Amino acid sequence: MLQEICLTTVGSPAVDTVLTVSVTHGTAGPEDFDLITTQVTITENMTEPCVSYQAIADGLGLEGVENLTLSLSGPPNVQLT
């Protein structure tokens, strides 16, 4: 599992970017999974536009999560690295 999400903008300079983060987590099996969606704002003045999975999990109150899957969506000129 990746430990952090980093962004690279393509074409235009970086602008404030809001990513929709869908978090699926569970400890036993798929039947115990919950889906939580939140938003992470990454601004153009961030020196390192990265956000850690753990920070997102902590922000969602998902401490001690065994299985954490994030899916992200953002503007077309933003690539996740």
Number of domains present in the structure of the chain: 1
Kindly state the DSSP code that residue 78 receives in the 8-state scheme: E
pLDDT of the residue at 2 = 46
Please report where in the chains the tokens 């990746």 appear, as a residue: 2
Segment 26-48 mean pLDDT: 53
Q: Is the pLDDT of residue 59 over 60?
A: yes
Who contacts 66 (Cβ-Cβ below 8 Å, separation ≥6)?
A: 25, 26, 27
pTM of the entire predicted model: 0.33
Domain, as residue range, for 71: 4-80
Who contacts 28 (Cβ-Cβ below 8 Å, separation ≥6)?
A: none
Confidence of residue 1 (pLDDT cuts 50, 70, 90): very low
